[in-house]
Amino acid sequence: MGNRLGTRTLTFSRGPRITSRYTLVGPREGKGPYALDFHEILADDSLGQKTAEKTERLMLELAIAKTLEQHDTSIDELHFLIAGDLLNQITTSCLAASTHAVPFIGIYGACSTFAEALGLGAVLLQGDFAEQVLIGTASHYQTAERQFRYPIELNVQHIRTNQVTVTGAAAAILSFADRGPRITHATFGTVVDMGLKDPHDMGSAMAPAAFRTIKEHLADTGRTLADYDIVLTGDLGRQGSKMLRLLLEREGFEGLERLQDGGSQIFGDWQPVGAGGSGAACVAVMTLGYILNALESAKAKRVLIVATGALLSALTVLQGESIPCIAHAIALEQ
Amino acid sequence: MGNRLGTRTLTFSRGPRITSRYTLVGPREGKGPYALDFHEILADDSLGQKTAEKTERLMLELAIAKTLEQHDTSIDELHFLIAGDLLNQITTSCLAASTHAVPFIGIYGACSTFAEALGLGAVLLQGDFAEQVLIGTASHYQTAERQFRYPIELNVQHIRTNQVTVTGAAAAILSFADRGPRITHATFGTVVDMGLKDPHDMGSAMAPAAFRTIKEHLADTGRTLADYDIVLTGDLGRQGSKMLRLLLEREGFEGLERLQDGGSQIFGDWQPVGAGGSGAACVAVMTLGYILNALESAKAKRVLIVATGALLSALTVLQGESIPCIAHAIALEQ
């Protein structure tokens, strides 16, 4: 297959690029160490909306509007909108999509959703199915708590391995315009289920999925971790990141100093966030903010994004199912 | 763009085909007028599982296993699994995917999910990203009732415009093997929200989305309804089908006698199912059962599938949001 390496990793020879981007985050994320990398920090996490779900939707709509504005592209010139989020039936994305007359591809990959969108967007461009693709995702601490855990009014204490859902939204336009980093490869992950069942330690459940995808990506491309300036896992958090390092070390991988983790880094050590951040917006804002700034300022030339997702629901937890996990890897080049 | 018509409808010149398929349905669907078109009718709708969610997952796994068996393909030879379902966080698909070591693309389009999978699968084949793609979906009356409406134990009476979620699962392999109908076009739909809010009449909410996608598809391809032997909408049900006809008539479309609807037809008039069937499995089993049999026996030469989806959640209904809807069209040829 022309576009492939005889493997499962896809290669994008035509060089689809991320040619416009916008990230916005909540006040807590805006107090973290990457605050300067985000385009907008919300003064409050409600945006004056009556429900957190409305806020989440509005954040995604704002990110989309700003991305379009920066690209000087109208919605009519886009060929697809690929979006997904954490809410039941991805209603944030569906409601936001209803305001734009562009073909909509709804996806779900939990916190890996953003990488799935990047990969599918690159597929549509490389395969000559589109010239401009819009992608987006969002998450909100309060909507995720309500849906997956406890109403925030109960003030249930978090434990050390818990992660905090990032409040934020991100959108990007992928095209062949002559700017922005190229998307060179996508390694779509397989679902890995190690039998772990603790929804309060999703990092440990996701680490084996990240390990597997990284291993496959490196084998497929003949690269090592050191061929990337940064390998950014999505939101393993501190616990999951530790496990990923152990798994890679055990199999003799080198270049572990290139590993970074969006979830572990988006909040400062001084912030009470358990093992770190998570949520569909986490890897999205860290990639479109921090990583793209690093690529554009030539602080990094080549980066691998490994977005991880825990594919559970509140119901599967109650029914005693284990937590299947996934990780999609996307290679970006300056 | 080579693969396009200068429009949003994608054309698949390389002729990706549906080269293996399997449909299974519950006992109620097995008493309907299309019973002979399905590959398997379950004797009971539990399959001996403790929860309906486990049954739904098992149905999807069975459909996948049988499709692989019939194709004489092992899971290792597949390049992607594209799947989605109605459950929160598409857990049926995620859990089923965890048993297969194949790159997983999770999607959500409510009852239009199957057409989204067909379209994306064709994109991956046409664009030379894969040689064999597995797609699948499932739904179950009891899981949908529990999640979207009322626990079935309450025995809440349905009203005339209510639809009944189809219990069933379907899977297919898309490839370039020399058999099965070709997937010639995909028109991914835009999200249409007419402000309707009644979750007990999703047919009326979805009809404008079906109308819009049909109109775009015909304009893009220069075809008329009469160029298709059958135009099968997904699950508009009797109410939504009536509305679609009115919308098409009003704008002077001809060939309305080619319209059929999976939701209106899967159950017999003698079955107490309100306005008909719905659910992710509805259009999937009707397409891979009834339509593919018609194409393979040359009763039809060219068919347009227009799978519709109501993009609501139980929470958006409670929060007073309207129901955004979508329809994806896929053209199949003998």
The tens digit of pLDDT for each residue in B301-330 reads 999 999 999 999 999 999 999 999 999 999
- Predicted ipTM of the assembly: 0.96
Strand-pair partners of B165: B278
Q: Which residues of chain B does A311 touch, with a Cβ-Cβ cutoff of 8 Å?
A: 89-91, 94-95, 98, 106
Q: What is the mean pLDDT of residues B198-207?
A: 94
Given this model, what pLDDT does residue A1 score?
A: 40
Task: Check CB contact under 8 Å for B8 and A128.
Answer: no
The 10s digit of each residue's pLDDT in A196-242 is 999 999 999 999 999 999 999 999 999 999 999 999 999 999 999 99
A190: left (phi over 0), alpha (psi -120 to 50) or beta: beta
Q: How confident is the model at residue A2 (pLDDT cuts 50, 70, 90)?
A: very low
Residues in A touching B106 (Cβ below 8 Å) = 107-109, 116, 311, 326
Q: Give the model's confidence band at A156: pLDDT under 50 very low, under 70 low, under 90 confident, else very high.
A: confident
* A66 phi/psi in degrees, rounded to 5: -70, -40
Sorted by where each begins, the domain ranges of chain B are 10-175, 182-333
Strand ranges for A86-220 from DSSP E:
104-106, 132-139, 163-165, 168-175, 182-187
Q: Do B129 and A110 touch (CB under 8 A)?
A: no
Q: How far from each other are the two terminal CA atoms of chain A, in whole angstroms?
A: 26
Chain A contacts of B107, Cβ < 8 Å?
Answer: 105-108
Taking an 8 Å cut-off on Cβ atoms, the answer to whether B116 and A106 are in contact is: yes
Inter-chain CB proximity B321 and A100 less than 8 Å: no
In chain A, residues with a C-beta closer than 8 Å to the C-beta of B190 are 97, 100-104
Averaged pLDDT of chain B: 95
What's residue A72's pLDDT? 84
- pLDDT value at residue A176: 96
The token duo for A289 is 């903010």
Which chain A residues touch B279 with a CB distance below 8 Å?
A: none
User: pLDDT at position A153, please?
Assistant: 77
Return the bridge partners of B10, or none.
B4, B186
Asked if the Cβ–Cβ distance from A4 to B315 is below 8 Å, we say no
In this predicted structure, the answer to whether residue B253 has a pLDDT above a threshold of 80 is yes
**Are B3 and B13 a contacting pair, CB within 8 Å?**
yes
Same topology, domains A10-175 and A182-333? Answer is yes
DSSP one-letter code for B138: E
A144 touches chain B (CB under 8 A): no
Q: Do A311 and B86 touch (CB under 8 A)?
A: no
Residue contact A311–B89, C-beta within 8 A: yes
Mean pLDDT over B263-267 rounds to 97
A317 Cα to chain B: minimum distance (Å): 11
Average pLDDT score, chain A? 95
Q: B3 and A88: CB-CB below 8 Å?
A: no
Split at pLDDT 50, 70, 90, the class of A159 is confident
Give ∠ CA B25-B26-B30 in degrees, rounded to 5: 75
A67 three-state secondary structure: helix
What residue in B sits closest to A107 (Cα-Cα)? B107
pLDDT tens for each residue of B21-50? 999 999 999 999 999 999 999 999 999 999
Q: Does A176 touch chain B (CB under 8 A)?
A: no
| Residues in Cβ contact with A145 at an 8 Å cutoff, skipping those fewer than 6 apart | A151, A152, A165
CB atoms B190 and A53 under 8 Å? no
Cβ–Cβ gap B3/A53 under 8 Å: no
Residue B160's pLDDT is: 85
User: What's the pLDDT at A5?
Assistant: 37
Statement: residue A186 has pLDDT above 80: yes
Query: CB–CB of A104/A69 below 8 Å?
Result: no
- What pLDDT sits at residue B5? 38
Distances (CA, A) of A256 to A189, A304, B27, B155, B308: 20, 13, 55, 58, 47
Chain A CB within 8 Å of residue B105 CB: yes
Question: B61 and chain A: CB distance < 8 Å anywhere?
Answer: no
Q: In percent, how much of chain A has pLDDT > 70?
A: 98
The answer on pLDDT for A3 being more than 50 is: no
What does the pLDDT average to over B280-306?
98
CA-wise closest residue to B262 among B75, B25, B95, B59: B25
CB contact under 8 A, B108 and A90: yes
Residues pairing with A309 in the sheet? A326
* CB of B106 less than 8 A from some CB of A: yes
What is the enclosing helix (H) or strand (E) of B21?
strand B17-25
Quickly state the pLDDT bin for B150 (edges 50, 70, 90).
confident
Q: Does B51 touch chain A (CB under 8 A)?
A: yes
Q: What pLDDT is recorded for position B6?
A: 56
Indicate the class that CATH gives domain A182-333.
alpha beta
The token duo for A108 is 């779900």
A97 contacts in chain B (CB < 8 Å): 190-191, 324
**Residue B89 and residue B83: Cα distance in Å, rounded?**
12
pLDDT, residue B75, reads 85
The confidence score (pLDDT) of residue A6 equals 56
Q: What is the pLDDT of residues B217-242, one digit of tens each?
A: 999 999 999 999 999 999 999 999 99
Residue of A nearest to B2 (CA): A128
Q: What local confidence, expressed as pLDDT, does residue A4 receive?
A: 42
CB contact under 8 A, B188 and A313: no
- Please say whether the dihedral angle defined by the alpha carbons of residues A286, A291, A297 and A300, taken in this order, is positive or negative: positive
CB of A130 within 8 Å of any CB in chain B?
Answer: yes
Q: What is the mean pLDDT of residues A277-289?
A: 97
Chain A residue closest to B102 (CA)? A190
Average pLDDT over residues B132-156: 89
Instruction: Report the alpha-carbon distance of residue B290 to residue A89 in Å, rounded.
Output: 28
Give the rounded percent of residues in chain A with a pLDDT score beyond 90: 90
Between chains, do B91 and A315 touch, taking CB under 8 Å as contact?
yes
Asked if the Cβ–Cβ distance from B129 to A3 is below 8 Å, we say yes
Model confidence at B103, pLDDT cuts 50, 70, 90, reads very high
Does B208 touch chain A if contact means CB atoms closer than 8 Å?
Answer: no
For A254, other C-beta atoms within 10 Å of its C-beta total: 11
Is there a contact between A121 and A81 (Cβ–Cβ < 8 Å)? no
Chain B residues closer than 8 Å to A321 by CB: 91, 95
The model's pLDDT over A72-122, given as tens digits with 9 standing for 90+, comes to 888 888 999 999 999 999 999 999 999 999 999 999 999 999 999 999 999
Q: Please identify, in words, the CATH class of the domain defined by A10-175.
A: alpha beta
pLDDT score, position A270? 93
Write down the pLDDT at residue B4: 42
pLDDT band at B151 (very low <50, low <70, confident <90, very high): confident
